[in-house]
């Protein structure tokens, strides 16, 4: 899982400094054509290289599929883990994908080139996090430390990092963004824990259930942060007030903390 997500992080990394460099010899249309070509090549490779597997077709009816979904969402383990995982991943994706760049511009005062470099490092730490968190969880599991304990630690550190970024106590929390990129990846570990908790035939519905909520949550975070930031007047045209970022990021961090608190208080399932 970690290696798979790391390749996604590489995509985020490519969208930072490399894109800025590409714009020096082409425009956005050219960048999109290049990305479309790479995507098409990857799809062709998967189609031609991945071997087909003989498998038995499912005879499950639609009613049985729906019943399986209900079973997943009603399970105490899912109820305990999902809020923390979904809120942390939603905050991570929502902030990193849309609002980290504007923060570096408006709060840290970075120029375009410096901002692209900052985003590059955040994405690089994301890749490192995705690769390392699975390895760390595996090693600690052999020592008797549960994977969910590792996940909760990482998600807590991520929430603290976001709160520190929001409060900006030293007027230069740019390095804290690297911790943000690193620890935000630990929200993926609960996927593995829940997948191992349910029967094999329900694993797909477990992952899909989490993903649907995470994507809706990420869109809500992106929109919500914007709505909060817009409550403050622009100090200069095209720039947003630092107070708006502070309020928005603190609200997201508080929601994540609430999800982690729920995990600690909900004791109907041991993980």
The dihedral sign for the CA sequence 229, 10, 184, 148 = positive
Q: Are 35 and 42 in contact (CB under 8 A)?
A: no
**pLDDT for 211-256, tens place per residue?**
999 999 999 999 999 999 999 999 999 899 999 999 999 999 999 9
Give the single-character DSSP code of 51.
P
**pLDDT for 58-113, tens place per residue?**
677 888 889 999 999 999 999 999 999 999 999 999 999 999 999 999 999 999 88
Give the single-character DSSP code of 57.
P
Helix or strand or coil: residue 20?
Answer: helix
CA distance 144 to 127: 26
CA distance 129 to 180: 10
The reported pLDDT for the residue numbered 113 is 87
Inform me whether the pLDDT recorded for 162 exceeds 80.
yes
Which CATH architecture describes the domain 2-45+65-265? Up-down Bundle (1.20)
**pLDDT for 101-154, tens place per residue?**
999 999 999 998 899 899 999 999 999 999 898 889 989 999 999 999 999 999
* Overall size of the chain counted in residues: 271
CA distance 219 to 208: 17
CA distance 148 to 270: 10
CA distance 168 to 135: 32
Query: Domain ranges in the chain?
Result: 2-45+65-265
The reported pLDDT for the residue numbered 56 is 66
26 versus 71: which is more confidently predicted?
A: 71
**pLDDT for 182-209, tens place per residue?**
999 999 999 999 999 999 889 999 999 9
pTM, to two decimals: 0.89
Q: Are 148 and 81 in contact (CB under 8 A)?
A: yes
């Amino acid at each position: 899982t970690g290696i798979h997500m790391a390749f996604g992080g590489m995509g985020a990394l490519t969208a930072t400094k490399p894109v800025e460099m590409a714009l020096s010899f082409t425009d956005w249309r050219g960048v999109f054509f290049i990305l479309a070509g790479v995507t098409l090549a990857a799809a062709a490779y998967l189609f031609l290289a991945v071997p087909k597997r003989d498998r038995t077709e499912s005879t499950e009816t639609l009613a049985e599929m729906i019943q399986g979904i209900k079973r997943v969402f009603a399970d105490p383990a899912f109820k305990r883990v999902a809020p923390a995982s979904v809120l942390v991943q939603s905050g991570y994706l929502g902030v990193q994908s849309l609002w980290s760049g504007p923060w570096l511009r408006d709060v840290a005062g970075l120029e375009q080139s410096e901002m692209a470099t900052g985003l590059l490092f955040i994405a690089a730490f994301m890749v490192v996090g995705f690769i390392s968190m699975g390895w760390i969880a595996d090693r600690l599991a052999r020592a008797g430390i549960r994977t969910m304990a590792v996940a909760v630690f990482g998600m807590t550190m991520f929430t603290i990092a976001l709160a520190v970024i929001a409060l900006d106590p030293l007027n230069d929390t740019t390095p804290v963004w690297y911790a943000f990129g690193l620890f935000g990846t630990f929200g993926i570990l609960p996927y593995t824990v829940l997948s191992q908790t349910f029967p094999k035939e329900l694993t797909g519905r477990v992952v899909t259930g989490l993903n649907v909520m995470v994507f809706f949550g990420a869109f809500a975070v992106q929109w919500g942060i914007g709505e909060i930031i817009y409550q403050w007047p622009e100090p200069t045209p095209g720039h947003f007030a630092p107070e708006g970022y502070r309020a928005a990021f603190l609200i997201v961090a508080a929601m994540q903390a609430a999800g982690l608190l729920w995990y600690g208080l909900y004791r109907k399932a041991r993980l």
